[in-house]
Amino acid sequence: MTTITLYSDYVCPYCLLAEKVLTDVIGDRDISITWRPFELRPAPEPTLRPEDSYLPFVWQRSVYPMAQRFGVPIRLPSISPQPRTAKAFELLEMALDQGLDHDFSLRVLRAFFQEDRDIGSSECLIEIACEAGLDPEKARQALDSGVYAQRYHEAQRHARENMHISSVPTIVVDQRVFRGIPTLEELTWAIDQLGSEQADDPSPRPAHSEHPISTTQPLSQSAQQLQELSS
Whether the CB-CB separation of 7 and 162 falls below 8 Å is answered with no
Determine what percent of the chain is predicted with pLDDT higher than 70: 84
- As a whole number of angstroms, the distance between CA 219 and CA 208 comes to 10
Tell me what the mean pLDDT of segment 67-71 comes to. 97
Residue of 86, 85, 83, 103 lying closest to 95 (CA atoms): 103
- As a whole number of angstroms, the distance between CA 231 and CA 224 comes to 10
Q: Give the model's confidence band at 196: pLDDT under 50 very low, under 70 low, under 90 confident, else very high.
A: low
Partners of 32 in beta bridges: 3
- As a whole number of angstroms, the distance between CA 158 and CA 137 comes to 29
β-pair type (170-173, 2-8): antiparallel
* pLDDT of res. 218: 30
* pLDDT of res. 194: 83
- As a whole number of angstroms, the distance between CA 199 and CA 151 comes to 31
Phi and psi torsions of 2, nearest 5°: -80, 145
* pLDDT of res. 175: 87
Q: What tens digit of pLDDT does each residue of 103-123 get? A: 999 999 999 999 999 999 999
Domain count, the chain: 1
Domain that holds residue 73: 2-230
Indicate the burial class of 188 (C-beta count within 10 angstroms; 0-12, 13-18, 19 or more): middle
* pLDDT of res. 195: 58
β-pair type (2-8, 31-37): parallel
Residue of 161, 143, 194 lying closest to 5 (CA atoms): 194
CATH assignment at residue 47? 3.40.30.10
* pLDDT of res. 94: 98
Is the model more confident about 73 or about 223?
73
Q: What tens digit of pLDDT does each residue of 2-60 get? A: 999 999 999 999 999 999 999 999 999 999 999 999 999 999 999 999 999 999 999 99
